[in-house]
Structure 1
Amino acid sequence: MSATPREHTRTYYLGKLAAELEQRGLTAALRPYPPVLRISDPDGTIMLAETVDCVPLAEGWFYRWSWGEPVGPADDPAHAAERIVHVLTARR
Structure 2
Amino acid sequence: MLKTTAALTLAAAMLLPAAGAIASSEVTLTDETKAQITQTLTEQGYEVGKIKVEDGMYEAYAKKDGKKLEIYLNGDLEVVKTDVD
Q: Do both proteins adopt the same fold according to a TM-score greater than 0.5, normalized to the shorter chain?
A: no
Q: Which structure has the highest helix share of the two?
A: 2
TM-score by length of 1: 0.38
TM-score by length of 2: 0.40
Greater RCO, CA 8 A, separation 6+ = 1
Give the number of the structure whose alpha-carbon radius of gyration is greater.
Answer: 2
